[in-house]
Structure 1
Amino acid sequence: MAKIAFLLADYFEDSEMKNPYDALTQEGHETVIIGIEKGASYKGKNGTTYISDLSAQEADASQFDAIIIPGGGAPEALRVNDEIIDFVKQANEQGKLIAGICHGPQVMISADILNGKSVTCYIGIRDDVKLAGANYLDEEVVVGGNLITSRTPKDEPAFIKEISTKLASLA
């Protein structure tokens, strides 16, 4: 089974964290919540709360098979943290699966890993991903190399299915 990092900060979109986290945990994968601080409590837009297992500074990309970045307001806080960006860059350099939904690709933009990749995202950041060199597609889920992206909570079933399929192929 895979070891999966969920990157989290306050004001995440609750379902975009809860549904992939629960589904992948039920499949038997090891899920680790990484925040800016270890042991910090992060609250979603609708009140769901998670506590981080590790800080980004402690996290080692080589220890993980995948990274998932839920959307909402959290990616805005994550993308300005150097340790988060270094973690994502290292994972990308190692060819690890990196999945982001909604505003999640904002972290990918700041990590400068979108150039030449096909992605989707929340329409409000569409121009940002294009300016980062990505090929934007308005589809429920897009696989571009080691990246998996989706647009909104309604795309979660396809997003989760694609992540599960990709993780199964790693086994």
Structure 2
Amino acid sequence: MHVHKRLNPALNPAGFKKRSDFGRGRTSVHPYTKCSSCSCKVNYPLLRLREAGHITFTIGPEQGKVYSSKHGYPCTADYGIDQISVDKLDGLIIPGGWCPDYLRRNKKFVQLVADMVHSGKLVGAICHGPWMLCSAKCIKDRRLTCFVAIKDDVENAGGIYEDSSVVIDGNLVTSRIPSDLPDFSRAVLQVLTLQCQHSKCDMCTGDIKEKL
């Protein structure tokens, strides 16, 4: 997975938009494991969030372990799942590929997804990512989209499928395929901005939590 923490004001270069223009999500997480995740669905949101000033990091089953995408690109888990809890995160991003098929077999990852959804914090999932939402049993009567091959899984889990580049339903942000990544990332940042406006975020109060 990879996570992003609250914005760092020191990163704001001259002439760049103020952090308040982008929102102030404390932490966004991307699950990542030994399976074949599509690297673009991991790296595009990660880099987009960093560009907007968020501090991101990856989470996997084991801290420090290097996992490969289906194209062979490496990703090192900054933290293991045992080191993560909902109170340390502002958001969770689940990439696609076959990664979710492995992660959904890990009860700790499934529980993290369920807890994040029920907490009202951002949860984004693209492509096969909504498989995790199905396993977490948290999409009944929720609107979402996904890769067409798992449409039946989403509907069987009680979700309301929509064929759209991005679907926002409260704290859930979902997309279908790699070409949806621009819309997906914009929506993720939009939800993080709203979360900051409606909650007492650490960045606004100056009380930034220490790194995990």
Aligned length: 171
What value does the CA root-mean-square deviation take over the aligned residues?
1.0
SS for the counterpart of 2:83 is coil
Q: Which moved more, 1:107-116 or 1:2-11?
A: 2-11
Q: Matches of 1:155 and 1:97 in 2, distance apart?
A: 18
Q: Which has the larger radius of gyration?
A: 2
Q: Which amino acid aligns with 1:6?
A: H
% of aligned pairs identical? 33
The residue that corresponds to 1:4 in the other structure is 28
Residue identity matched to 1:80: R
Amino acid at match of 1:18: N
CA distance in 1, matches of 2:118, 2:133: 13
Residue 149 of structure 1: how far off its partner (Å): 0.4
Aligned equivalents of 2:141 and 2:87: distance in 1? 24
Q: CA deviation at 1:99?
A: 0.4
> Which residue is equivalent to 2:42?
17
Q: C-alpha separation between the residues in 2 aligned to 1:117 and 1:42?
A: 32
Q: What are the residue-to-residue correspondences of 1:65-80 with 2, within 5 Å?
A: 65-80=90-105
> Which residue, out of 139, 142, 164, partners 2:167?
142
Tell me the SS of whatever aligns to 1:38. Answer: coil
What SS does the corresponding residue of 1:75 show, helix, strand or coil? helix
Q: Is the 8 A contact 1:116 1:133 kept in 2?
A: yes
Equivalent of 2:136 in 111, 123, 129: 111
Q: Are the counterparts in 2 of residues 88 and 111 from structure 1 also a CA contact under 8 Å?
A: yes
Q: SS state of the match for residue 82, structure 2?
A: coil
Query: What is the DSSP-based 3-state SS (H/G/I as helix, E as strand, rest coil) of the residue aligned with 1:5?
Result: strand
For the 8 Å contact 1:61–1:91, the answer to whether it is kept is yes
Residues in 2 aligned to 1:113 and 1:121: alpha-carbon distance in whole angstroms: 15
1:88 partnered with 2:113: yes
CA distance in 1, matches of 2:95, 2:71: 14
Structure 2 length normalisation: TM-score?
0.78
- 1:152-167 mapped onto 2 (5 Å cutoff): 152-167=177-192
- TM-score, normalization by structure 1: 0.96
Query: How far is the alpha carbon of 1:76 from its aligned partner?
Result: 0.4
Question: Could you tell me how far 1:39 is from its partner in structure 2?
Answer: 1.1
Q: Displaced runs of 4+ in structure 1, greater than 3 A? A: none
* Partners of 1:101 and 1:114 in 2: CA distance: 15
8 A contact 1:61–1:88 mirrored in 2? no
1:155 Cα deviation after fit: 0.5
Q: Which residue of 2 aligns with 1:33?
A: 58
- SS of 1:148's partner is strand
